[in-house]
Amino acid sequence: MKYTLIAGILGLFAASISQAQLAGTLNQVVSPVRPIIDRTPSDLKAIREEARRRVQSTTEGINSLSTLASGVIANLPAPQFKAPAATTILSTSGQPVVNEVTVEDGFLAVEKEWLFLGEEADKVHLQGTNIEIQEAQFLPALSKWLYNVKVTGNEDDVSHIRNRLPKSLQDQIGRNHIYLSQSEVSTKGSLLRHVDKIEVSTQQFESCPTPLRIGMVDTHVTTTHPLLSHIIFTQASFIVEQREGQDPRPNQNNGLDSYAADSKKQTSKASELAGGVAFSSDHGTAVASLLAASMPESSQVFNASVFYSRNSVSQGATLMSLIEGLNYLASQQVDAINMSLAGPDNPVLARVINQLDESGIQIIAAVGNEGPASLPLYPAAYPETLGITAVDKSHAIYRWANQGDYVDFAAVGVSVEAAHPDGKVIRQTGTSMASPRATALYACFLRTELERNAALLKLQQLALDTGPPGRDSVFGFGVLP
């Protein structure tokens, strides 16, 4: 990573934000946190390269940096990934909604569905024998058309589909992959207690002097939980709907929650129905509470709810739902987006992440819970993304955390206390539980520094170098407090 050396310490600038004190009544008016208008792409790649150069210069003569990291297994096997078995997601009436299949490298995707991101004129290349456009929608925040294409014949391999397109468009199409949330299943014995009021750690409001504006892509969130009562929470649903016999998205808001959805009209049940598809609130509620734990009063969180329940312990989200959700969050002009999910590399997702970065929105993602030998998982492994791993309170690495050169920072994510939809606090573990802390810290530094690279450097300076000197594949730059 390239350090842009700063001649002097940058002054902290309080963002000029009009705000009202948040009270207990839902009808009290609170002035919104204004977006930061001056947006530029980050120089994250260059910062990483400079860090790599410094490590090489300070460790000359050491044969293997892995010998410097305690507890890290040497001679790891070849990278691998094992996704859960594919399943068919049914509606309450028993009709198939999502037909999952196992595709290249063992990842999951929607059977014979592909996504294309481009211009309206490009659709002429997506029609023909054995292929048809199922759905087309314009994404205003991305200024692109998103096409859902169905293969009706037997030719469903990557090379065949891409070779149908002009070479200039071949990197704009990819499978409608399925991405999974990244936390361990909580045990019944981990339910700790009911929460009757906001429980604030000593670091909460000390960590940031000004309200924040953050997005998240996750499951549905039960916003009535007491641990969320000091923030302003808005969410919209993009959970896949049944497509049998009708247009599932009659308007740009998917026919579900509007972009100005009343987030307080939620129940505390952990499993509900969206268009006939079951979904869970457990993961998103936990992640939201960990974000809120580092956010001062009157901060705003926007959630794009994208996950359906695969079974009692697993949630999946189609790439189409993810892109719709990211488009929604970009329209809210958030400073950063937390993505506590992971899955395969996909050229369509890569283009969206790059475009968000170019517009000034930092993506911060969990690196995944597939272990040190896993293939890189995305979006954490994209060069524009901050990849976050998990440690316990003693700074020991989470044993199932992914490792690689895409790890940027670590944060506590092992046995952390997080909100549960039933109003309790529960212990959760996983890289999903670590990324919210990093997201909130970055958003705070962006608000005080008013410049992306300065915010990234502040994160770097804050991190405790825990593994080999400099940035490494286990802890990244180190552990964030």
As a residue count, the chain comes to 481
pLDDT band at 408 (very low <50, low <70, confident <90, very high): very high
Nearest CA among 73, 107, 75 for reference residue 401: 73
Domain assignment of residue 4, yes or no: no
Statement to judge: residues 259 and 159 lie in one domain: no
Mapping DSSP onto H, E and C, the string for 211-258 reads: CCEEEEEECCCCCCCHHHCCCEEEEEECCCCCCCCCCCCCCCCCCCCC
122 versus 58: which is more confidently predicted?
122
Domain assignment of residue 38, yes or no: no
Statement to judge: residues 117 and 214 lie in one domain: no
Distance CA 445, CA 432 (A): 21
Express each pLDDT in 322-336 by its tens digit: 999 999 999 999 999
Distance CA 219, CA 342 (A): 13
Tokens of 155: 């030719």
Cβ-count burial of 190 within 10 angstroms (0-12 exposed, 13-18 middle, 19+ buried)? middle
155 versus 339: which is more confidently predicted?
339
Statement to judge: residues 227 and 257 lie in one domain: yes
Mean pLDDT of 39-65: 62
Distance CA 285, CA 39 (A): 29
Tokens of 347: 């050229």
pLDDT of residue 298: 93
Mean pLDDT of 90-112: 90
Domain assignment of residue 161, yes or no: yes
Distance CA 102, CA 170 (A): 22
pLDDT of residue 16: 35
Express each pLDDT in 352-365 by its tens digit: 999 999 999 999 99
Mean pLDDT of 12-22: 34
Specify the number of domains making up the chain. 2
What's the alpha-carbon Rg for the chain, to the nearest Å?
Answer: 22
DSSP 8-state assignment for residue 294:
T
Type of residue at 78: A
Range of the domain at 266: 180-462
Residue the block writes with tokens 């953050």: 214
Statement to judge: residues 124 and 271 lie in one domain: no
Statement to judge: residues 227 and 164 lie in one domain: no
Q: Does residue 87 carry a pLDDT above 60?
A: yes
Type of residue at 327: N
Statement to judge: residues 245 and 274 lie in one domain: yes
Distance CA 133, CA 290 (A): 40
Statement to judge: residues 376 and 290 lie in one domain: yes
Q: Does residue 12 carry a pLDDT above 50?
A: no
CA 350 to chain centre: 13
Tokens of 294: 């580092």
Statement to judge: residues 344 and 442 lie in one domain: yes
Statement to judge: residues 194 and 135 lie in one domain: no
Statement to judge: residues 129 and 247 lie in one domain: no
Distance CA 385, CA 361 (A): 10
Yes or no: say if 451 and 6 are a contact pair by the CB < 8 Å rule: no
Q: Does residue 246 carry a pLDDT above 80?
A: no
Statement to judge: residues 165 and 296 lie in one domain: no
Domain assignment of residue 243, yes or no: yes
Q: Does residue 418 carry a pLDDT above 90?
A: yes
| Residue finishing a domain among 129, 151, 178 | 178
Look up the CATH number of the domain holding residue 296: 3.40.50.200
pLDDT band at 313 (very low <50, low <70, confident <90, very high): confident
Express each pLDDT in 183-234 by its tens digit: 765 544 456 666 654 444 434 444 688 999 999 999 999 999 999 999 999 9
Residue the block writes with tokens 């995707």: 109
pLDDT of residue 17: 34
Mean pLDDT of 389-397: 97
pLDDT of residue 79: 56
Q: Across all residues in the chain, what is the average pLDDT? A: 80
Domain assignment of residue 50, yes or no: no
Omega of the bond leading into 379 within 30 degrees of 0 (cis): yes
pLDDT of residue 375: 92
CA 347 to chain centre: 17
Q: List the Cα angle 426/314/114 in 5-degree steps.
A: 140
Domain assignment of residue 472, yes or no: no
Q: Does residue 14 carry a pLDDT above 70?
A: no
Domain assignment of residue 395, yes or no: yes
Query: Dihedrals φ, ψ of 284, to 5°?
Result: -65, -40
Distance CA 103, CA 346 (A): 12
DSSP 8-state assignment for residue 291:
H
DSSP H/E element including 460:
helix 452-462
Domain assignment of residue 37, yes or no: no
pLDDT of residue 191: 60
Statement to judge: residues 340 and 401 lie in one domain: yes
Nearest CA among 480, 477, 481 for reference residue 465: 477
Residues of the chain above pLDDT 90, percent: 59
pLDDT of residue 67: 40
Yes or no: say if 209 and 448 are a contact pair by the CB < 8 Å rule: yes
Express each pLDDT in 269-289 by its tens digit: 334 555 578 889 999 999 999
44 versus 249: which is more confidently predicted?
44
pLDDT of residue 440: 97
